[in-house]
Amino acid sequence: MLTQASDYLYYTPIADGIHGQPMPVRTGAAKSVVKYEDIVYLAEMAAERGVWCTGDAVNPRGLWTNLTNAASPVLKRGDLARIQDFARYIWDREYFSNGGWGIPADWNAGLGAPIVGAAAYNAWIATSALPPYTGANCSFVESVGDYDELFAYFDAIKRYVFQHDNLVSEFTFVQDADIANALDQPILLTQVGNATITYQYADGSSQSMTTPDAVAPYFQMEYGRKTGSTSVYETNTVSCAAQGGYKLYVHTPFARNRLTNALYAASPVVYLRFRCGIMINSYDDPDYYYDETIPVVLRLGTLSSPTNSSFARYPIYFAFTKDNIMMPLTQTAYNALVDWANTNVPDFDLQGTKRIDVYVTLDCVYYDTGVIAHCSNLQA
């Protein structure tokens, strides 16, 4: 709750005009009069929600809603109209997978079982849309109803899903040692130490190699008939995991409440999205991929309290062992993909006459904050 001028981050209001009592917090007749603090508080709410709803870790102090002059006690209709337009912009960000990170406070993510396939994934994402802001632009600056509606709309936005996307690209998945030079993102998953790539062959032999590069965790299994045999099958596998585990960092604007120093997300939930593919070879026909981007999403679970880091830009992180990632990948996501493919992919049969190659790669980490307490909230 902003109770003094120094509490404001995005604006520098007149100190004498800030009492920590914006319109919805006031009672009685005082609530029926529009005051200077009301519009400045609304602008601060819009700016703060804007940072969270766009995951803007690069320019968190950007003025998302320009006021005519925050240091002037004169209220302008244009200021309120711009805040109303920004409320529509936040809603128009759509779903968290499309660059909008705000979700309804009561969103039910489900995921008792993995989500598999584009249709199921898109349907799941669509359930996360914020309710629209539908109010018409104000006609008069004294219109108390317009202010009430905006206060209620912004105060209802208090839960977000951040993502570290496209982990299959070496340009976005980094070594923990390089976190200080990493790109600014709301969250960032890093690899601790080297990664080990392990090959397990059909004859029981295996081979491993270590790479210092940050390689997205993956698992691949290939089934096929042995040469010259009509009944015996061979199975080769290959997997990659960081032996030192992984860390999920949270950027400064989204880590701790700057007024209370409390964690914004005390019990966040993490979901993993995998990019999967299936290749089928009939020996007589060329190789073909059924689909290179079959999504699989599963709920990893609620995270325990994070560890403080030494980085100003990423002050906290959650530690994962390699098995925290690899077991869901190899035992849950892979099996869910195979079950789905048995019904949805033509000619898919692990014991059939065709050679089948199945791969699963970690592609995205979703970080669900749960309901948080913004600095600019309306708690009395």
Determine the average pLDDT of the residues in 165-179.
87
**pLDDT at position 102, please?**
94
Distance CA 328, CA 298 (A): 8
Which residue, chain included where needed, has tokens 């080769």? 236
Structure tokens at 328: 């869901």
Determine the average pLDDT of the residues in 209-222.
93
Contacts of 62 (CB under 8 A, 6+ apart): 10, 47, 50, 51, 56
How confident is the model over 50-88, as pLDDT tens digits? 999 999 887 765 566 788 888 888 888 888 988 999 999
**pLDDT at position 15, please?**
96
Residue among 62, 58, 67, 59 at smallest CA distance from 38:
67
User: How would residue 290 be classed by pLDDT, with cut points 50, 70 and 90?
Assistant: low
**pLDDT at position 362, please?**
97
Query: Domain limits of the chain?
Result: 5-93+130-157, 174-370
What is the maximum span of the chain, computed from C-alpha positions, in angstroms? 90
**pLDDT at position 286, please?**
59
Are 10 and 44 a contacting pair, CB within 8 Å? yes
Determine the average pLDDT of the residues in 41-54.
93
Distance CA 212, CA 196 (A): 9
Distance CA 172, CA 216 (A): 10
Question: Is pLDDT above 90 for 283?
Answer: no
User: How would residue 251 be classed by pLDDT, with cut points 50, 70 and 90?
Assistant: very high
Count other Cβ atoms within 10 Å, centred on residue 256. 17
Structure tokens at 380: 């009395």
Are 54 and 100 a contacting pair, CB within 8 Å? yes
**pLDDT at position 231, please?**
65
How confident is the model over 292-350, as pLDDT tens digits? 689 999 999 999 999 999 999 999 999 999 999 999 999 999 999 999 999 999 888 88
Residue 307 burial (CB < 10 Å; 0-12/13-18/19+)?
Answer: exposed
Determine the average pLDDT of the residues in 34-43.
93
Residue among 97, 338, 86 at smallest CA distance from 221:
338
User: How would residue 93 be classed by pLDDT, with cut points 50, 70 and 90?
Assistant: confident
Distance CA 156, CA 144 (A): 19
* pTM of the complete model beyond 0.85: yes
The 3-state secondary structure of 10-68 reads: CCCCCHHHCCCCCHHHCCHHHHHCCCHHHHHHHHHHHHHHHHHHHCCCCCCCCCCCCCC
What are the φ and ψ backbone dihedral angles of 292, each rounded to 5 degrees?
A: -85, -10
**pLDDT at position 143, please?**
80
Distance CA 32, CA 26 (A): 9
Q: Mean pLDDT score of the chain, rounded to an integer? A: 90
Least confident stretch, 243-252, 286-295, 339-348, 355-364: 286-295
How confident is the model over 121-136, as pLDDT tens digits? 999 999 999 999 998 8
Determine the average pLDDT of the residues in 4-29.
93
What letter would DSSP give residue 138? Answer: P
